[in-house]
Structure 1
Amino acid sequence: MQLEDQPLAGHIPAQDRLVRQLLDAGRFTRADAAFDELLAGGSNSVDSRWVRSTVLVHRAVLAWRLGRIPLALELLTDGWTELDTQPPTGGSAAHTISMLGFMLEGIGRRGPAMDLMSLAVQIARESGDQPTLAHCQLREGISRVFRAATHPDQAAHQFAAARELSEEAQSLAKPGRVKRSALAVLARSLAGMGEVETAERVAHEALKLARDSSDIYATAMANWVLAGIKRSEGVLTEARTFASRALEGAENVHESLLMMRFSSELAEICRSLGDPVGEAAALRRAVTAAFSAVDILKEGLGQALEQRRVATQAQRMAMAAREAALRDPLTGLANRLGLERMAPVLLERTAAAGRIPWLVLLDVDWFKDVNDFAGHTAGDVVLQEVANMLRRECRAGDLLCRWAGDEFVVLLVDAAEDSREAGPLVAERIRAAVNAHDWRLVLGRLEKKPTVSIGVAAGPNDLDQLFASADIALYKAKRAGRNRVETESREPGSD
């Protein structure tokens, strides 16, 4: 089987692309066998020539379509975790983020899904990789036309956005699957905006190109568009025929998102025709699609995915913690014992250099609300994100510690000799970073987003005294309304 030229070619190994093309052609027995061969060397094994996160997420998509849900979760989690360690730039990152968003869209996590797909388009555009940009635009365009069909109040906005995305995608893409599918999305957008005659012409063009190329996916999309056009014109018998063909194509390539949308459309057309038998059959197919791909997983899969990602990160941190028993396994920072053992050495070194030691004690505000309303897994993610922000805002020589629960300690020992305001300055940077952080992907629309209250103390080269002073300042910050910094300075000789 010849590999069709497509945008992913530069980012995905040939064997992975072969499995994808077998799936797109409905050849699932061969695709399943080829996928087994691909994984024979280990599901997480990726040649160094390829971007690991992109390949892993692409394999997750393949596993999903083959019905291997646990493996899909494992691969997707590993790919997502891998992406966390890389700056989101370049075509590979754009593809990875776009595929993540499209999978989340398919399981009902629509808010984060659209954010990820839009981010992917932005990254692809900045990279200058036009084939990648077209592919990312296609995924977002498909999601927007489906969302317009299920949310009439958003239809005008979604169709307009989908039109813009699909027009550019089909102009950028080389002849192939992306270009054909983008034409179908463009036709649906035009129909939704009332340009029915142009939409029908474009849809027939997309259908011909798809059939000539034996492209089942694009054929199904074009048939679905024509079903909607005929339905709007009141030609319901033709609409039913096109909708039936669209659903059959989606089932042949195991695309759950398409199966759900097309079966619902067919049921509505049959109902309008007074065809209860056809309506019942379409609804049964919708239920089958839901049970196989969506409803069983929709309630728990989004959380399970995040839990598995966090579990993977925690497991890696735990392995490091076994080698260094002074580290907290969840955040990777020093733990309480680590602080108590390392602080005296650092304080002595600071005193010998003639510098003033600072201790920053911070507590996460509203953390109980996070655990109560978003769950303890989300709480763990919040603590990890706060730890990451501490790493970004502090110097390499400073000691960072998760003291207990949602309390963190920073011992500043690397401040400049003349910096008598180092503690409050660093504390304010930390507070501002947490306050500005976007928590929506982790917590959704939680009423009280996490902030931090911070107490800062300077003075004696004694950890207990520094901690006691910082604790007093932290109490003041909490009493004063949270999300603020308070200082309790006790320089040597101030007593």
Structure 2
Amino acid sequence: MEQPEPPPPDRAWQPDLEVKALLNAGRLPEANTLFDRVVNRLPVAADRWQRSAALVNRAKLAWRLGRIPLALELAAEGWTDLDGEPTDNPAAAQAMHALGYLLEGIGNRRAAVDMLRLSVQVARRAAAQSELGAEVLGHCLQALGGTLNFRAISSPPELAPAIFEEARGHLKEGLGLARDPQMRRALLGAYSRSLAGVGELAQAEEHAAETLRQARAADDKWAMAVANWVLAVVRREQDELVEARTLASRAVAASEAINDPSLLLRFSLDLADICARMSDHVGEAAALRCSVAAGKTATETLQEGLAQALEQRRVAVQAQRVAVAAQEAAARDPLTGLANRLGLERAAPTLLESTAAKGRVPWLVLVDVDRFKGVNDDAGHAAGDATLREIAQLLRRECRADDLVARWAGDEFVVLLGDAGGAHDVGPAVAERIRAAVDHHDWTVVLGTVRRPTVSIGVAAGPAGLDELFAAADMALYRAKRHGRNRVEVEPLVSEVVSGN
């Protein structure tokens, strides 16, 4: 049966209790309005466990209100906060209690009972520490006992008594702990049903009648529904079917008023059974139609909610892809299609770490187009851009797929060679191939009769970071420029590090 939320740890959570009270009174529009005002508000002082409890309890309220995607979102966020080390925090027990209810609602019945048992374990540890922990334990015991009642009802007859007996033990213990009036009504109603399940009909009637009296005084239609249901079960077992039918009809009407499909389904099935025993075929048919409608409503609500959640997930994935594409675009040079400086700086640490992990030495090749300003001046900026694109293609052709090729800035390119194997001269060799490819390329289509571009290249290697490799390669590039351009120079100090390996 439905389990009420545990009490919040302080008055900061009072609006949550007010939403629950409005739901149980059948005042659904008001509950929705209040829920919208409080759903995103958390006390500033809330710790990790209190935050988790608030999120999952609000997920339960959203579920009751038929707002399934929101319920799933809140539950997932609150559940994530629970992951981690074992705890004796009462708020963690509260969150587990509400999660058990939600798991039951989506049909994961075994996981629901497991979660509720875990909530009781945590609450027992909390009860040894504080009065609040003892109160929370009462709530968790009610949740577990109420769920076991429903398990017993749907179990084979030979198994039901033992399950009812376990439920009774939990609920009786909870009654000795709970002080909150709403929770005591919930415990008392559930306890009376377990008493009826083990055949103690007189005690079951007494407790159910007391539950009904308290529920009427508090305008708690949820407790009224449960109390009338238990009284109907007692009268059915006593073969007083006319009164049983009246009481079961009241239970069905109350569960309809609070929009609780799970209670409505259970109570209407029992009403149909009572009508069948009385040969009241009209009443039986009406009750069965009600149960079918309740089951259909529950299924359609869940299906619609899951469809909405799926659509929200689709939109989220789409947004994520757009964000990833934007990040990739930000790291790519629009002219050449190579990685830009940002892309190089992002990817270089991973490549360098991978190379070091394999016991290899990385090489950095720094390429600069010789007298590129003259190309722009003689052939125009469009031809200059085409030249840079052509050089980018030559770089790709002369490098491996897993090498990192980037346009550093203007007419300057960087190639970061990762796993160069055991060769000590792979960097200079790749650099020379690049130089020759540019020098021997047919530039007629791009530049016509304008002079051919060449490149100067500086090379460096060593177990260092990107900045150090770049600085060393830049020194080598400076020598290549000074010694006549269209040539490759290797930084001597870095070459000595490589040869020493």
TM-score by length of 2: 0.58
Q: Which residue, 37, 46, 49 being the options, matches 2:45?
A: 49
1:148 alignment counterpart: 152
2:470 alignment counterpart: none
1:235 Cα shift?
0.8
Note the residue ranges of structure 1 that are not aligned, 5 or more in a row: 326-335, 350-460, 462-495
Where do residues 223-262 of structure 1 align in structure 2 (5 Å cutoff)?
223-262=228-267
1:455-481: per-residue Cα shift (whole Å, max 9, x none)? xxxxxx9xxxxxxxxxxxxxxxxxxxx
Structure 1 residues 181 and 165, CA gap change in structure 2 (3 angstroms)? same
Structure 1 residues 90 and 147, CA gap change in structure 2 (3 angstroms)? same
In 2, Cα distance between equivalents of 1:16 and 1:55 = 9
Contact 2:24 2:222 in 1 (8 A): yes
213-222 vs 142-151, greater mean Cα deviation: 213-222
In 1, Cα distance between equivalents of 2:320 and 2:86 = 22
1:344 Cα shift?
4.2
255-264 vs 287-296, greater mean Cα deviation: 287-296
Contact 2:232 2:245 in 1 (8 A): yes
1:454 alignment counterpart: none
Equivalent position SS for 1:259: helix
Contact 2:9 2:91 in 1 (8 A): no
Contact 1:108 1:298 in 2 (8 A): no
1:138-191: per-residue Cα shift (whole Å, max 9, x none)? 111111111111113431221011101110111101150111121111111111
In 1, Cα distance between equivalents of 2:6 and 2:358 = 59
Where do residues 90-239 of structure 1 align in structure 2 (5 Å cutoff)?
90-128=89-127, 129-152=133-156, 153-239=158-244
In 2, Cα distance between equivalents of 1:239 and 1:30 = 33
Instruction: Kindly provide the amino acid, as one letter, of the partner of residue 222 in structure 2.
Output: Y
Contact 1:290 1:296 in 2 (8 A): no
In 2, Cα distance between equivalents of 1:11 and 1:82 = 22
Instruction: Kindly provide the amino acid, as one letter, of the partner of residue 196 in structure 1.
Output: L
Where do residues 403-422 of structure 1 align in structure 2 (5 Å cutoff)?
none
1:344-399: per-residue Cα shift (whole Å, max 9, x none)? 446779xxxxxxxxxxxxxxxxxxxxxxxxxxxxxxxxxxxxxxxxxxxxxxxxxx
Q: Which residue, 284, 306, 315 being the options, matches 2:289?
A: 284
In 2, Cα distance between equivalents of 1:337 and 1:276 = 78
1:301-333: per-residue Cα shift (whole Å, max 9, x none)? 59x79x97xx99x979x98xx79x9xxxxxxxx
Structure 1 residues 118 and 301, CA gap change in structure 2 (3 angstroms)? farther
Equivalent position SS for 2:176: helix
Instruction: Kindly provide the amino acid, as one letter, of the partner of residue 146 in structure 1.
Output: F
Structure 1 residues 6 and 343, CA gap change in structure 2 (3 angstroms)? closer
In 2, Cα distance between equivalents of 1:254 and 1:338 = 57
In 1, Cα distance between equivalents of 2:188 and 2:6 = 16
Instruction: Kindly provide the amino acid, as one letter, of the partner of residue 148 in structure 2.
Output: R
Superposed CA RMSD in Å reads 3.7
Structure 1 residues 60 and 188, CA gap change in structure 2 (3 angstroms)? same
1:167-217: per-residue Cα shift (whole Å, max 9, x none)? 011110115011112111111111111212222222222222222222221
Contact 1:11 1:55 in 2 (8 A): no
TM-score by length of 1: 0.59
Structure 1 residues 171 and 301, CA gap change in structure 2 (3 angstroms)? farther
In 2, Cα distance between equivalents of 1:166 and 1:12 = 28
2:72 alignment counterpart: 73
In 1, Cα distance between equivalents of 2:246 and 2:353 = 74
Structure 1 residues 247 and 341, CA gap change in structure 2 (3 angstroms)? farther
Number of equivalenced pairs: 329
Instruction: Kindly provide the amino acid, as one letter, of the partner of residue 155 in structure 2.
Output: H
Equivalent position SS for 1:174: coil
1:46 Cα shift?
2.7
In 1, Cα distance between equivalents of 2:305 and 2:189 = 32
